Structure formats: structure tokens, C-alpha cells
Homo-oligomer: A and B are copies of this chain.
């Protein structure tokens, strides 16, 4: 049987009230007594029953998710997953609120974060814009003892407790190797479509991609990056333009969102050119393009897993419990025609 607070009290030779004071760091316990109790806790291997504790506390976790107001399928999907989590949350004594902020806008993000510092929720998840001001705001929250996890895109040098997202350098490297191997030694140019170099995930994907192409596929050269702001129309225009002007393009790597535009451009300009195309994020559009052969592989991060992982980690941090690291590693999905979910 699992030891309880009563067992600690008996083992340490103190009363239940004292054990409670130690366990919940309440004042009014002499140093020696506190140590006696802590020793007993260690020795009998007591672990607090979180379910019972939360029941007694009447605790409800209040989490805030800060999401960018971007109009692309991935962010919509992320939003849906958060909503799905909200729907389940009542069963789990969890209140989740979402806040929208303008995309690529550090100032707005900092303002929200500072407001939350007073509100003191049980935890915060945010899609970070990678700027020093944002980092400082997050660090203030962490100093205040509020669990913070970054979602999808990480924050350089911050104290955030956890990052719920994929390893984007690895993603870029993987894209490069797939593209290189699929092209099988052909010579030519690669077009790269990104959202913005202001977000860390896109920068990192490009970095990994360029490194592997340079080191292992010297017959391929990378054209200057096209920044489409994750916007379908902008992406369409820019890619169509590039395909018209450059005849040496043999492959495309789309590392951001806004793939609807990319796909449209490919169907207009490249039906006859047999390009190899690798894109990020599985959406209805990229899925259809993979099945009809317009896209050859899709790299994906599962937004649902990211959201659920963020919630699990926030909960664990709020309860002072350990997380199962292997469980919380967000994997990079590679989808071909054949292993679509």
C-alpha cells in the first residue's frame, strides 16, 4: 500500500498538522523538525496523491494559450486543437482560455504577457515570436513562479520550462536529404519558400536545410529565400514568378505555411517540369497535393500532440511533478502518399 500522510507522521514521530505544514511549506516549523519530517518522507518513499490533493484543494488549473492571429491552415488547426482541449477540460478540472495576438508582433505579445503576470494563471503556453523583449517578459513570468511553455516556435535563451514543438533544424536537414535523395544526383537549383525569417522555426529549418544541401548534395544550389509571410496569395505570386524566370529549378522546399498558394503556382507553371517538392504541415490542401503527385513528401508537426503535450507539461509543472521526457518529445512526421493518417 502506498504510504500516506499518516504514515509520515508516525514515522517522524510528529503530528499530522506538522506534516501538513512541512508538505505545504507553511510557516511555524522548527528547522530540526522540518528535517525530521523530510527524512521520514524520503525514507518511506511518500508521494503525494495528486488526485486527492486536488480534490481537497478544489483546485482547477487555469491555463492561457497565446496564439498568433494568422490566417493559414496550420494555425487554424492549432486553434481547433486548443478548442478540442477546452471541450475536454471540464472533465479534467482545467480551464483553458485562448488569447489571440497579431502575428510577428513582439510588442503585442509582451503586453499580453505582462498583463498575465498580474492575473497569475496556473500556466501559460505561447507561440513565441523570437525577440529579446519577449524573452524578458517570459523570464519575468518564470521568476514569478508561473509555468511557461513555448509552442511550435521556441524562444532563444529564455527560461521557459519546456518547448512543445519539433526540432526545426532536424526538420530542415531531413527535408534536404529527402530532396537530395529523391533527385538522385541531378544538377539544378532549389527554390525555398518561407514565411518570415523573424520566427525562429523558419530560420532553423532553413539553416538545417542549407547545411545538408551544401555538405552532401553539391550538385544542388539554393536560390535566395522567398518570404511569403505564410500568406497563400503572396506565396502564389512569388513562386509563380520564380518558376517563370528560372528554368533551372528542379526542386522546391516550402518550410512555412501558405501552401495553398504554392500548390496553385505549381499546378499552373510546373505540370510539365517534374519538380520534386517537399512541404511542411499536413492540411487538406497539402494532403490532396501529396496524393495527386504535386508534392512528394510532407513534413508535419501534429498540432494536437503539441497542445496535449503542453497541457500535460503545464499540469505537471503546476503540481511540481516530473514529466516523462520521451513522451513529450514532439516528433517530426514524414508523410508520403502511403502513410497518411
- On A, residues with C-beta under 8 Å from B are 2, 47, 49, 51-52, 54-55, 88, 90-91, 93, 167, 170-171, 173-174, 176-178, 181-182, 184-185, 208, 212, 296, 302, 304-305, 308, 324, 326-327, 329, 331-334, 336-339, 341
Contact = CB atoms under 8 A, between A and B. Distances in A.
A199 to B, nearest CB: 20
A174 B338 contact: yes
A302 B51 CA distance: 29
A174 B339 contact: yes
Contacts of A174: 336, 338-339
Contact of A327 (B305, B329, B338): B305
17 contacts: A47-B90, A47-B91, A51-B54, A167-B339, A170-B339, A171-B339, A174-B336, A174-B338, A174-B339, A177-B337, A181-B296, A182-B182, A184-B185, A304-B327, A305-B327, A331-B333, A332-B339
Contact of A182 (B91, B181, B304, B329): B181
Nearest to A47: B91
A51 B326 CA distance: 25
A176 B337 CA distance: 11
Contacts of A333: 331
A211 to B, nearest CB: 10
Contacts of A55: 49, 51-52, 55
A4 to B, nearest CB: 12
A339 B205 CA distance: 12
Contacts of A336: 174, 177-178
Given A52-B55, A182-B181, A2 B338 contact: no
Contacts of A332: 339
Contacts of A88: 324
A308 B60 CA distance: 25
A94 to B, nearest CB: 11
Contacts of A302: 331
A341 B49 CA distance: 33
Given A308-B327, A327-B308, A333-B331, A177 B51 contact: no
A301 to B, nearest CB: 12
A304 B331 contact: no
